[in-house]
Structure 1
């Protein structure tokens, strides 16, 4: 059959509160034109993130009741550890309350002043934790990954030549680690090939540089490998995942993505010395090593989710949902990062709104326009999130101005996706009415979370639709 259907039945529902356009305008103004500051009840379709926003299965809910809440040595931890070890083969498994806690611990141990962390592309919290440690994060995305409208099978790859050159120029002793993000979130949810991972690992081994995986969406990446890379078509997702992790010295993971859970994550390591240092920090920051900031019931839900996420029927539906949206957008020639990725659609705000200069944040302007149009909350991945100011205060823009529509797992149906596409099309037809924005307040780290924006003082999308 060609028709895409959800590989599950709905057993419980959550009501959506509908708002009018006039109400949404007022809500957005109250939130200083930052959708992060909008109350969830005022959102109709929430595509802000796929992190912790998915729906858990009946098996996960059943396993929650088995949670052993013992402070030390709970049964739930040992099941959690066993599942992760089976997938990753790593001996040292530390639960944390979410992925950024694993990053904070890891970079506190291996980062530091005058160090570099090299990556295909770092996400916002990863980069923030690297910088907080005193190190500097460097993105070495492959050339095809920087070409938004060009389709290629593995646009998430690291540039191997650039990696080799960076180490040669700056010295291997200054490279704290190489960390590969799979799939490449800031790079459009694009996958990384197994060949690229092997090559990066070989370079790291030659120079005695630790090689890590940011494994938030490892299963989605493995599905792409199975579909697109020679030699993997007949392998299971588990077998592909086991090979992927075999090249790594360690990994961080937010289990709020491919763990199919609402909270939690882990840090996994091979080296005993590094593990001991991380364990000591874990106890200070998160809790005893066998619960690490999580309840036993959370450990159970994650263990089950990590098994469910590797089911090919689920992954086919998950990746197929992104392709479905992309095919709809193609009918209207709406610009987005191609091909569609694993967990989100990335609209190209610079091409969508070419009349708005980058220093007026076209991604955030599009973000707000989608909320006004249909109550859809998304996130800007451009110069608001990744841009910085030079010494004179002028904006150093991000490489791209993207708007990410991240799809929560097992949460929305195809009719919800059609609603989203309709909203994008409507905004696109009225795109000349969308105007830029300025920042009135920003915090020193992760400014997009709390930034207060203001519209440019001229005719706006709000005026055109009021």
Structure 2
């Protein structure tokens, strides 16, 4: 059939509280015009992130009751470890309370002053943990990925020519190379198997380990299956196993493609690095067989990692995103094309051409979407990644985006139609939008807690 339906039935529902526009004006002002500061109950459609916001399955909830809460040697850990080894194949599996904890452990060991970590595009917590260690985070995104309107199959790829030149010049400062799949900051765009293999070959040439930031590994595998020649007849599991076979290690937030609300892990092959990582884990997270998680959390992750490999689910998931993208594109709304795996990204620079990067066009759009229809989204542009040079001049990132990230198994088609309607109304009045300035910000991850003021 032409209609792709949700491959699940709804068993439990959560009510939505419908605020008025005047109520939302007050609540946004009280939050310092930062959508992270809003209470969840004051949001009608929450697309701030797909991290930890999924609906768990009946099997996962049942598994929670079977969670083994032994402090050491929990049976739930061994089930968790076994499924990760089956899919990813790494020798050592180290659980953490979420993905950024895995990053913190890894970069506290391999990072530090005078070290550089290249990636296709680092996401916010990865970059923050690298920079917090004193290291430098460098993005080597391919040229296609920097052009929002260009249609290309794998815009998340790393530029291998740039990587080769970079390692040739800086190899003594590079402890490892990362590749983020899918490329979140680059619009949720996938990375091809060919690119993964090429990056691996360059890393091997310079004797550098390659790590995957694999939060959305299954979505990436599905794109490889439908877009890359030679993979159309392979299962999602087979594609995942090949992807991970080229890597020496990985970090993951299980709050994405493991379909759970908390958890993450670090997985790797190097015995010495694993020992050092577990030493840090014990001090900061917990014993190596629970790592900051309850046994029931480990059980839910193990089940979720198997459920995410279901091709029918992945087809529905990717189609959900492209459905919204098509409705917006038909109406002339500029978005990053083609749509990626977990979110639709509005091209804020094209949407609000009258607002310069230093006045945060993405933040203006995000605030407007909340005021108009109670939709919470996330700016991924100059607020999240912008910097200043030594003269105080604003340095904008390659892309100014607003991300509409969809929780897994949460919203239906009517919710998505509502989102499209709100965006179109804001787009029709885009010339009325004004820029913003920051009135308060922290030294790291400022987008979480900064305060903003509309520029008169």
2:445 aligned partner: 446
Check if 1:363 corresponds to 2:342. Answer: no
Counterpart of 1:180 in 2: which secondary structure? strand
Counterpart of 2:385 in 1: which secondary structure? coil
Measure the CA separation in 2 of the matches of 1:443 and 1:149.
Answer: 33
2:199 aligned partner: 200
Check if 1:165 corresponds to 2:172. Answer: no
Check if 1:421 corresponds to 2:388. Answer: no
Q: Which runs of 5+ in 1 are unaligned?
A: 458-466
1:18 aligned partner: 18
Alignment of 1:247-262 (within 5 A): 247-262=246-261
Alignment of 1:12-161 (within 5 A): 12-161=12-161
Measure the CA separation in 1 of the matches of 2:149 and 2:329.
Answer: 12
2:334 aligned partner: 335
TM-superposed CA distance for 1:391, in Å, is 2.5
TM-score normalised over the length of structure 2: 0.99
1:180 aligned partner: 179
1:223 aligned partner: 222
Aligned length, in residue pairs: 456
Measure the CA separation in 2 of the matches of 1:34 and 1:395.
Answer: 20
Q: Which runs of 5+ in 2 are unaligned?
A: none
- After superposition, give the CA deviation of every residue in 1:30-53 in whole Å (9 maximum; x if it has no partner): 111100000111000000000000
- After superposition, give the CA deviation of every residue in 1:80-104 in whole Å (9 maximum; x if it has no partner): 0000000111110000000000000
TM-superposed CA distance for 1:188, in Å, is 0.3
* Range with greater deviation from structure 2 (1-10 or 159-168): 1-10
4+ long deviations beyond 6 Å: none
Provide the alpha-carbon RMSD of the alignment.
0.6
Counterpart of 2:318 in 1: which secondary structure? helix
Measure the CA separation in 1 of the matches of 2:443 and 2:4.
Answer: 44
Measure the CA separation in 1 of the matches of 2:431 and 2:172.
Answer: 51
Alignment of 1:316-331 (within 5 A): 316-331=315-330
Measure the CA separation in 1 of the matches of 2:159 and 2:389.
Answer: 27
TM-score normalised over the length of structure 1: 0.97
TM-superposed CA distance for 1:203, in Å, is 0.6
Check if 1:407 corresponds to 2:406. Answer: yes
- After superposition, give the CA deviation of every residue in 1:101-130 in whole Å (9 maximum; x if it has no partner): 000000111111111101000000000000
- After superposition, give the CA deviation of every residue in 1:331-382 in whole Å (9 maximum; x if it has no partner): 1111000000000000001100111111110000000000001000000000
Measure the CA separation in 2 of the matches of 1:8 and 1:66.
Answer: 23
Measure the CA separation in 2 of the matches of 1:6 and 1:413.
Answer: 8
TM-superposed CA distance for 1:394, in Å, is 2.5
- After superposition, give the CA deviation of every residue in 1:402-443 in whole Å (9 maximum; x if it has no partner): 000000000000000000000000000011111111000010
Measure the CA separation in 1 of the matches of 2:143 and 2:390.
Answer: 29
* Range with greater deviation from structure 2 (145-154 or 389-398): 389-398
1:389 aligned partner: 388
